[in-house]
Amino acid sequence: MAHDAADIVDRAIDWHLRQATMDEAEWHTFVAWLEADPAHAQAFDAVALDVSMLAEHPELYPAPATPVARQPRFPQKPAPSSRRVWAWVGSGAAVAAAASLTLMLMLVPTGLTGGNASYAVETKPGQRRDIALIDGTRIELNGATRLLLDRSNPRVATLESGEATFHVRHDPRDPFTVHSGRLTVQDLGTVFNVARDGARLDVQVAEGSVLFQPKRDAVTLHAGAAITAREDLGHIAVTKIDVAKVGLWRERAVSFLGEPFGRVSTAVQRIDGATLFIDPGLSQRPFTGMVRLSGKVAQDVPHLAALVGAEWHHDGERWVISPR
């Protein structure tokens, strides 16, 4: 029995290693093997999960005592590894990394001049952008977003509108600060998401912590905390959030926790780049759950309407969801 299990694991590892080079017939055999026994599928799943973790968590590896990676004898090719070629198929991480690299090259040369060097980075509705600052901070911009940066001070950003996820390179002597309206967020070693929606500002922390309103309330928000501030009402609420749901827009998803359904139209604008009008009768209805957008409004609006049992139509520029 134990012997069988070990054999199955060997087979699973074997199949997994060979995936990069398998031809059509081998894939068919693989599917048949997976289907043959739930234990096969389970072993393969465990192996695949392990391997994904191995790929995604470089910090798990022990630091080599002696440098293992000797200088190669030949000048290194800019090897387009098989993993990278296929990256678009899977998570957007590799693609995002590539995008940030390109942008860094664009930003750095012009960033060294100093002076009054404020500049705006903008995305159109439905567009996404990934920027890397010289200090190592990475910012992912959702659609319909405008962010002001400063060439002479890479440690400050102003979110004028829209939404962004910040991956801050922490420096205790020089904290990274995000302004938005009259509100300020300061990093304490962090990945966090900031979203502006009119007078409403949402800050959600995925890793580390941030200081909200450092010069006034100085509320420390740790990973898993979310704050909603209403500048018009002077109201601030701190709630909890699943860290996996911070910056969910990057997966084209929106999460609701008893919030008005109408907020989905902001997501549709940012992600699909389309104007969605939600009938007032529906827009205030509280919703809990998560909705995933496809990036294509013609697909998402009917889907959203169906979820709330409503009707939809499209007139010219505008998409409308209204009660049935």
29-88 binders of other proteins (CB under 8 A): 30-31, 34-35, 38, 41-42, 44-58, 60-62, 64-65, 68-70, 72-73, 79, 81-84, 86, 88
By the rule CB under 8 A, 238 interacts with other proteins: no
Nearest to 168 by CA among 157, 159, 179, 160: 157
Q: Nearer to other proteins by C-beta: 58 or 115?
A: 58
Instruction: Tell me whether residue 49 or residue 112 sits nearer to other proteins (CB atom).
Output: 49
Q: Which amino acid is at 209?
A: S
Residues 131, 139 contacting (CB under 8 angstroms): yes
Rounded Cα distance, 250 and 202, in Å: 16
Neighbours of 161 (CB within 10 A): 15
Q: Is 322 helix (H, G, I), strand (E, B) or coil?
A: strand
Tell me which residues in 197-226 interact with other proteins (CB under 8 A): none
Sheet holding 275-278, edge to edge: 275-278, 318-323, 310-315
240 touches other proteins by CB under 8 A:
yes
Compute the least distance from the CB of residue 120 to other proteins, in Å.
28
User: Least distance in Å: CB of 81 to other proteins?
Assistant: 3
Work out which of 197, 307, 312, 314 binds other proteins, going by CB under 8 A.
307
Residue 113 or 288: the one with the smaller Cβ distance to other proteins is 288
Q: How far is the CB of 68 from other proteins (least distance, A)?
A: 4
Closest residue by Cα to residue 310 from 275, 283, 290: 283
CB of 30 to other proteins, least distance (A): 8
> What are the two backbone dihedrals, phi and then psi, of residue 276, each rounded to the nearest 5 degrees?
-120, 125
Report 276-305 residues binding other proteins (CB under 8 A).
Answer: 288-292, 294-296, 303
Per CB under 8 A, which of residues 8..27 are in contact with other proteins?
Answer: 9-10, 13-14, 16-17, 19-20, 22-24, 27
Provide CB contacts within 8 A for 319, sequence distance 6+: 268, 274, 275, 276, 277, 297, 301, 312, 313
Based on the number of CB atoms within 10 Å of its own CB, is 12 exposed (0-12), middle (13-18) or buried (19 or more)? buried
Binders of other proteins in range 130-189 (CB under 8 A): none
What is the smallest separation between the CB atom of 282 and other proteins, expressed in angstroms? 16
Residue 242 near other proteins by CB under 8 A: yes
Q: Judged by CB, which is closer to other proteins: 245, or 270?
A: 245
By CB under 8 A, tell whether 7 contacts other proteins: no
Q: If binding is defined by CB under 8 A, does position 89 make contact with other proteins?
A: yes
**Site for other proteins contains 102 (CB under 8 A):** no
CB 101 within 8 A of CB 107: no
Nearer to other proteins, 45 or 311 (CB): 45
What are the φ and ψ backbone dihedral angles of 296, each rounded to 5 degrees? -120, 115
Count of residues of this chain found to bind other proteins when the rule CB under 8 A is applied: 73
Q: Which of 165, 112, 113 is nearest to 137 (CA)?
A: 165
Q: What's the min distance (Å) between Cβ of 75 and other proteins?
A: 13
Nearest Cα residue to 304 out of 247, 242, 254: 254
**90 touching other proteins, by CB under 8 A:** yes
